[in-house]
Chains A and B, each alone.
Chain A
Amino acid sequence: LIAMPDEYSAGRAFFAGLAATARSVFAYVLFGTFLGYGALCHDLSFSLTWGLVSSVLVWAGPAQVIVASSLGSGMSLVQAAIAVSLSGVRLLPMVVALLPMLKTERTRTWHLLLPAHFTAASFWNESLRLAPGVPRHRRIAFCNGLGVGFFVPTLGATVIGYLAAATFPPILAAALLFLTPMSFLVSTARNSRQWVDKLALALGLVLAPLFSYWKLQLDLLFAGLLAGTIAYAAHRLRDRSA
């Protein structure tokens, strides 16, 4: 991955993270996705500044689409907040899975707040992939660089999408919205090196639509908990018999 000498400053690690985003497929995926998001903000009559502030504060594609479309359609604030919170539950296990890889004995809790804020599918996948190649005591700086770097295509595309919204044909808008599920699927598959992760991915793809078809409350959360737990149980059983 990335070979680095150990007398490596935090500033250099930060810039290495920043530079890594230019080689990440997610920089392009985010650019496309946020062209679509900028256009959505325009069509729902939000200001461009609101669109940019929402990207910095929320920083999670599916949640932002819910916020803009529910507020823009006049949905009640309580209902909208519940919908956003449900889409955000996935961030908890992501943060819990990533942070132990970044910290040392001397890491203070507040040092981890920024990498936690950056955690979303793109950042999570790239951090899990790249951080093991960075000296442990510089991983937080590296990941902060990665997170800040991802804001460049995101905010740039939000501006372009907002200004060009009126010229977008429907097929382009559809293709931009399709970037999120397509890139989430292949990047998660790439990061699923272990058998247990592959099984969790496959089970989640099957169980979530079933739970939602059966109209279960909190379907995404429970389908994920069940699929992940079955995958883990299968992994334990396999380990024991091996």
Chain B
Amino acid sequence: MNATMRDIGPYFALVLVGFLPNEIWRVLGVFVARGIDEKSEILVWVRAVATAVLAGIIAQLTLTPPGALAGVALQVRLGAIVAGFVGYLLIRRSVFAGVLCGELALILGAYLAP
């Protein structure tokens, strides 16, 4: 139960810990999708759940971020994600414009409010 990477080596650990637990959901998805028609109503629900889980990941990565991003103040991170979204809405609904606005806001904010 308490084995670590040192016991089995980095590549075997990658397959056991990284590849298999992640890939199982994709393979499962292939089999679940087998009997489903593109126009079926259940796909509307499945897409809503997929979108909502992705939204959860966005919230998690912004509120409790990994690594160096945790060193940027929470208000700056929240302000930057809002700035990026507003930039996307205002500038022709462009994803590129949104990402650029958010990144600029983050860098500016991190300089002004370290």
Contact = CB atoms under 8 A, between A and B. Distances in A.
Interface in A194-242: 194, 196-197, 199-205, 207-209, 212, 219-221, 223-229, 231-232, 235
Identify the 3 closest CB pairs spanning chains A and B, nearest first.
A95-B29, A204-B55, A208-B56
B33 A205 contact: no
Interface string B73-114: 000010011001100100001011011001100110011000
Contacts of B32: 92, 95-96
Q: How large is the interface on A (under 10, 10 to 19, 20 to 34, 35 or more residues)?
A: 35 or more
Given A121-B54, A180-B61, A81 B25 contact: no
Contact of B66 (A65, A67, A75, A84): A65
- Name the residue in A90, A92, A100 with the highest tally of chain B Cβ atoms < 10 Å from its Cβ: A92
Interface in A163-202: 170-171, 173-175, 177-190, 192, 194, 196-197, 199-202
Contact of B99 (A60, A92, A186, A221): A186
Given A97-B46, A203-B55, A228-B45, 13 more contacts: A54-B14, A63-B22, A71-B5, A92-B26, A101-B38, A182-B99, A186-B88, A196-B44, A201-B54, A208-B57, A224-B49, A229-B49, A232-B48
Interface of B: 1-6, 8, 10-11, 13-34, 36-38, 40, 43-69, 71-72, 77, 80-81, 84-85, 88, 93, 95-96, 98-99, 102-103, 106-107, 110-111
A71 to B, nearest CB: 5
B52 A204 contact: yes
Interface stretch (A9-17, A112-120, A152-160): A112-120
B81 A92 contact: no
A224 B80 contact: no
A82 B21 contact: yes
A189 B88 contact: yes
22 contacts: A46-B10, A71-B13, A74-B6, A77-B13, A78-B2, A84-B21, A88-B21, A91-B29, A93-B53, A95-B32, A109-B34, A121-B54, A186-B84, A186-B95, A197-B48, A203-B55, A204-B53, A204-B59, A220-B53, A224-B54, A228-B50, A229-B45
A80 interface: yes
B71 A178 contact: no
B18 A227 contact: no
B67 A97 contact: no
A175 B107 contact: yes
A176 to B, nearest CB: 8
A148 interface: no
Contacts of A62: 57, 61
A200 B49 CA distance: 7
A189 B97 CA distance: 13
Given A71-B10, A231-B48, A100 B38 contact: yes
A231 B47 CA distance: 10
A171 B107 CA distance: 7
B80 A77 contact: no
Contacts of A221: 53
Nearest to B2: A76
A19 interface: no
B25 A174 contact: no
A177 B59 contact: no
